[in-house]
Structure 1
Amino acid sequence: MATRNLYLVRHGAADVFGELTEHGRRQASLLGERLARVPVDTVWHSPLPRALASAHELARHLPGVPVAEAAELIDHIPETPPSRTTPCGGHTDTGADRTPSDALVARFARSPGTGHDRHDVLVTHAHQIAWLVRHALDAPPSRWRGLNSANAALTLIEYRSDAPPALVMFNDLSHLPPELRWTGLPEGTRP
């Protein structure tokens, strides 16, 4: 049985216009250095500029690994009806019978079945990471709201066909120096 390892990454720190800051570029680069030891198959990213730039910055450390856009990773509020523009700058048009969150889970939250193990990096947004973690833990849909991810934090979920999903790590910042940690989180959540 093959295993899919999903490395969930929130984009690096961005300015009010959604463009990566110098801190954000450095965060993404340091994460790329950390992931250079992983046999990454693909780096997937949200269509938004902050995720696109983060994906390309970290992929500089992963020679030969393809970087591709995945519309399912767009920033949206989970549990929202389809065909709505979100306050985060994303569009959630996925059809009348599926929410964007359903499409995200259907595409990425599963075992690859047979064949070789997969290692996919998903550069996305805090809400999408929270939704995938909530799904992996089989928690009620509303539980995604209490999960926050820092910029360039690393979360790892393992999917095997013969076992429930395993949350291996959540919001790991060990690859960042102290001055680059804890960006993107609400005030008061720093230790």
Structure 2
Amino acid sequence: MATRHLYVARHGSADAFGTLTDVGHRQSELLGDRLAALPVDAVWHSPLPRAVRCAEIVGGRLPGVPVREAAELVDHVPHVPEEMPAEWAGFFDGYDPAEAAEGARLAAALAGRFARPAETESHEVLITHAYQVAWLVRHALDAPPARWLGLNCGNAALTAIDFHDRAAPAVLLYNDMGHLPPDLRWTGFGPRIRP
């Protein structure tokens, strides 16, 4: 086994219908430019249109790198806590046991496919959604399942995680927006003070 280097990003900003906005398009271009200096082997994306388009744009900045769909990257709630934090109760209102079980199944499939060392050294880009980025970070840190809650992720922000053969995973970057100018950062969050 060898190290799998994952570069995980939430798709660019999208409208209410799931289509990348002009801002999302530019964020995706800048993300691709940042990743162009790396030895990327593949770009994987969620099947949802906003992630597909973001991956196409990123892939366009990485000549010769295949861009492929990975169903495990689809947007879903990965874990519904048994003891609900009061501030999250409204968010989970209406989730039934079947939906929670399906979310757990998808989360296990995501981790099983990507959150492990590779057969050979690999550098893979994952274009996915905020909850999946949070779940992969939680998994890499071996944190309790409910710790994915509150790990916000900006559009086109970069998270880098290495999965080693004989060592614990290493979270190298989380939610890094250094490639984005200030006016393109923090999309996807509610109103708040921004550092």
TM-score normalised to the size of structure 1? 0.88
| 1:126 to 2:133 alignment | no
The residue that corresponds to 1:21 in the other structure is 21
| 1:110 to 2:116 alignment | yes
Q: Equivalent residues in 2 for 1:153-172 (5 A)? A: 153-172=157-176
Q: Secondary structure at the match of 1:52?
A: helix
Cα contact 1:13–1:151 (8 A) shared by 2: yes
Point out where structure 2 has 5 or more consecutive residues left out of the alignment: 81-91, 93-97
Aligned positions, number:
180
C-alpha distance in structure 2 between counterparts of 1:120 and 1:185, whole Å: 26
Q: Greater CA deviation, 162-171 or 178-187?
A: 178-187
Compute the displacement of 1:189 (Å). Answer: 5.1
Q: 4+ residue runs of structure 1 moved beyond 3 angstroms?
A: none
Superposed CA deviations along residues 19-63 of structure 1, whole A, max 9, x for unmatched, are 000000000000100100001011000000000000001111100
The residue that corresponds to 1:40 in the other structure is 40
Calculate percent identity across the aligned residue pairs. 58
* Distance change >3 Å, CA 178–CA 7, structure 1 → 2: same
The structure whose residues are more often helix, as a share, is: 2
Amino acid paired to 1:154: L
Amino acid paired to 1:13: S
C-alpha distance in structure 2 between counterparts of 1:35 and 1:100, whole Å: 27
C-alpha distance in structure 2 between counterparts of 1:64 and 1:28, whole Å: 18
TM-score normalised to the size of structure 2? 0.87
Point out where structure 1 has 5 or more consecutive residues left out of the alignment: 81-85, 87-91
C-alpha distance in structure 2 between counterparts of 1:157 and 1:177, whole Å: 23
